[in-house]
Structure 1
Amino acid sequence: MPKMSDVARLAGVSTATVSRVLRNPDAVKTGTKEKVLEAIHQLNYQPNMLARHFRRTETKTILVLVPNIINTVFAEIVGGIEEQASKNGYRVLLRNTARKLEREYGSIEHLKQRQVDGMIMLSPQLDEATLNEISSQFPIVLATANLETPKIPFVSIDNVSSSYKATEHLIRLGHKKVGHITGPMDSLLSRHRNEGYRKALGDYGLDIDEQLVRRGHFSYESGFEQMMDMLGQNHVPTAVFAPSDEMAIGIINAAKEHQLRIPEDLAVVGFDNIRFASMFNPSLTTIAQPLFKMGQRSMELLLKKLNGESISQTEHLLPDELIIRDSCGARKKGKLLHN
């Protein structure tokens, strides 16, 4: 017996579009509707009427999965999601996964049981194959995520080029020993930021000293602990690029424990431009992500999926910006560098 996914495949559309044709055909473009109806006719597809009844019941609620509820990066993105959702009559249900796979799997049940209409996942831990399988059945959008072979709409920045920009800034200030404390390397986002760091060193003819590269996990504690360990060795960096502002603040405090001055003895560049970055002493040079806009764009894309509209591209990269403050030393040296 043919399934809805067979109809979608033959018509060249998503299962969400097939569902939209069945329950609200006037909301679908004529050309798309005709392709779906033709596929239904060819396959002699018989929709389950009970399932159709449940699908007609919209909750006007979407689920947002957040890996760390106290992280201000995710809080700003959620703010953008909520604003866009509210404008369109949707409520937002928030769930903190604490970066645990079982919580992400458990949240999918909300979709299966039709308790929510769609889902936005921030930095998901699920593997790409699983995400693709879920997306083939339910409206899903990803944010602050990168995929190897994007099939699901996602909103992010170019993490390779932004990390290159941050590392290049330190190199152009004269640093040749630039360290890096990574995020968790099972995350493609972390690997991309590490890639940008390594590419900048290579392009400027600098060797990558693995003694100056440590693995962390985006937290203040990670930055502090890894930097304390790095400064305990004989070979130390004169600058460090951190893939999150929380880590950068941990790095600076570890350096202060070793009686190092920032930026005279150690220059630091962070990532995210959290609100506290400008208030910290020294104020933090960082890569600013358009977090609120990322949330808005994510919700815009989810609304398109909920309405059965086609999305021509899956990769939505927004512009980032290098914000130069005191922690890198550019101001003191009079070297505000512009690309």
Structure 2
Amino acid sequence: MKMSDVAKLANVSPSTVSRVLTQPDMVSKETRERVLEVIKKVNYRPHIVARQFRTKATKILLVVVPDITSPFFSEVLRGIEHVAINSGYQVILGDTQNNINREEEYINLLHQKQVDGMILLTARIDKEKLEAISNEFPMVLACEYMDGLNVPTVSIDNVSSARKATEHLLTLGHKKIGHITGPINVVLSRDRLRGYQQALLSHDLEIDSAYIQEGDFSIDSGYNQMLKLLALESPPTAVFTFNDEMAIGAIKAVKDSGLEVPKDIAIVGFDNIKMSSLYEPNITTIDQPKYEIGIKAMELLLKIINGESIQKKKFVLKDNLMIRESCGTNVNIEIS
């Protein structure tokens, strides 16, 4: 069944059928309903390749993630897809597996006109390359970012939120606080480390390099780096971890060492993934508005695709500190 067949049955021109499918507001209600009735009756499906050839649009968007196995990104992706589907777009995923070369390979899909736009949930290639691509193609960054990059970006304030998490441990009386970072070549790791350091300095506490261990985002690295902290002659009494997955690994290391959380050592995570409220003990963590980040990023990308001007480039969403059992309280408290 071709578009011309639908047009003949509905007694309209093929161009009218096309407008009903792509610009329905430009067609009268009576005509639109007649065409849609025929389309439904004959089960007509537009030829996607032909439509792309005519409109030079694929109606496909690419979302590039650093690690598809991370539970953090699933909520961000839900927000992205919710807006995309409601706007008539399909979403495909590219998993870089934290590999910069793979990130560049996915970006090449823009040059090949295989997608209409891209949301990067990772940004680790050269700043100049990213800016050059964003000047030519629709692109939005979300979660990760770069200082001074003139590209629409959606994130939280990672320095402030890390400072807030560390401040909470300080208010509980801890003075020996460790930090398990993410890979230091990632901007989020550096910003959360900075927030941790700012909190200690604001309380006139010395920053002990032995209390800072670099992980790789995973449960295993949280476990291994926690063992290193526990092996110190004077181990910390509290630890702030880069994310909840490493917090889970850290708690297991404490338990396997014959100690208890939070009785012997307090743990704070980051991201508020679903497992953080189910794990024993429940993990105190920073709640990122993951779903809202995805929605905002997708809305911005659609505006760029539609040729709308975006004056504001940096969108910083609100985070919250979720206080739970892992740092010494059995009451769920949310602090903005």
Q: What is the TM-score with the length of structure 2 in the denominator? A: 0.82
Question: Is the 8 Å Cα contact of residues 150 and 314 (structure 1) preserved in structure 2?
Answer: no
Name the CA distance, whole Å, in 2 between partners of 1:104 and 1:123: 8
Name the CA distance, whole Å, in 2 between partners of 1:166 and 1:244: 12
Name the CA distance, whole Å, in 2 between partners of 1:55 and 1:204: 64
CA change 1:338–1:118 in 2 (3 A) is: closer
Letter aligned with residue 178 of structure 1: I
- For 1:237, what is the secondary structure of its paired residue? coil
Structure 2: unaligned runs, 5 residues or longer? 1-51
Q: Residue 193 in 1 paired to residue 192 in 2?
A: yes
Question: Is the 8 Å Cα contact of residues 273 and 288 (structure 1) preserved in structure 2?
Answer: yes
CA change 1:336–1:316 in 2 (3 A) is: closer
Alpha-carbon displacement from aligned partner over 1:87-141 (angstroms, at most 9, x marks no partner): 1100001111101111111112211111100000102221222211111111110
What RMSD, in angstroms, separates the aligned Cα atoms of the two structures?
1.8
Alignment of 1:31-70 (within 5 A): 56-70=55-69
Instruction: State the match for 2:289 in structure 1.
Output: 290
- For 2:68, what is the secondary structure of its paired residue? coil
Letter aligned with residue 289 of structure 1: Q
Q: State the shift of 1:189 in Å.
A: 1.2
Question: Is the 8 Å Cα contact of residues 169 and 337 (structure 1) preserved in structure 2?
Answer: no
Alignment of 1:242-321 (within 5 A): 242-321=241-320
CA change 1:55–1:182 in 2 (3 A) is: farther
Instruction: State the match for 1:99 in structure 2.
Output: 98
Name the CA distance, whole Å, in 2 between partners of 1:274 and 1:78: 14
Name the CA distance, whole Å, in 2 between partners of 1:230 and 1:336: 28
Name the CA distance, whole Å, in 2 between partners of 1:82 and 1:338: 29
Letter aligned with residue 270 of structure 1: G
Alignment of 1:122-271 (within 5 A): 122-271=121-270
Q: State the shift of 1:274 in Å.
A: 0.3
Alpha-carbon displacement from aligned partner over 1:170-225 (angstroms, at most 9, x marks no partner): 00000000000111111111111000000000001111111111111211111111
Name the CA distance, whole Å, in 1 between partners of 2:155 and 2:191: 12
Name the CA distance, whole Å, in 1 between partners of 2:285 and 2:313: 27
Letter aligned with residue 144 of structure 1: C
Name the CA distance, whole Å, in 1 between partners of 2:308 and 2:133: 18
Letter aligned with residue 240 of structure 2: F
Name the CA distance, whole Å, in 1 between partners of 2:128 and 2:54: 25
Q: State the shift of 1:331 in Å.
A: 3.8
Name the CA distance, whole Å, in 2 between partners of 1:169 and 1:218: 22
Name the CA distance, whole Å, in 1 between partners of 2:65 and 2:214: 22
Name the CA distance, whole Å, in 2 between partners of 1:336 and 1:62: 38
Question: Is the 8 Å Cα contact of residues 144 and 156 (structure 1) preserved in structure 2?
Answer: yes
Question: Is the 8 Å Cα contact of residues 322 and 333 (structure 2) preserved in structure 1?
Answer: no
Q: State the shift of 1:54 in Å.
A: 6.9
Residue identity (%): 48
Question: Is the 8 Å Cα contact of residues 330 and 336 (structure 1) preserved in structure 2?
Answer: no
- For 1:145, what is the secondary structure of its paired residue? coil
Name the CA distance, whole Å, in 2 between partners of 1:313 and 1:187: 24
Question: Is the 8 Å Cα contact of residues 200 and 206 (structure 2) preserved in structure 1?
Answer: yes
Moved over 2 A (4+): 53-56, 335-339
Q: What is the TM-score with the length of structure 1 in the denominator? A: 0.81
CA change 1:337–1:322 in 2 (3 A) is: closer
- For 1:136, what is the secondary structure of its paired residue? helix
Name the CA distance, whole Å, in 2 between partners of 1:108 and 1:96: 12
Name the CA distance, whole Å, in 1 between partners of 2:312 and 2:335: 31
Name the CA distance, whole Å, in 2 between partners of 1:59 and 1:337: 43
Instruction: State the match for 1:87 in structure 2.
Output: 86
Q: State the shift of 1:70 in Å.
A: 1.1
Name the CA distance, whole Å, in 1 between partners of 2:287 and 2:222: 19
CA change 1:55–1:98 in 2 (3 A) is: farther
Alpha-carbon displacement from aligned partner over 1:281-309 (angstroms, at most 9, x marks no partner): 00000000000010000000000110111
Greater length-normalized contact order (CA 8 Å, ≥ 6 residues apart)? 1
Instruction: State the match for 1:8 in structure 2.
Output: none
Name the CA distance, whole Å, in 2 between partners of 1:81 and 1:188: 23
Name the CA distance, whole Å, in 2 between partners of 1:305 and 1:268: 42
Q: State the shift of 1:278 in Å.
A: 0.5
Structure 1: unaligned runs, 5 residues or longer? 1-52
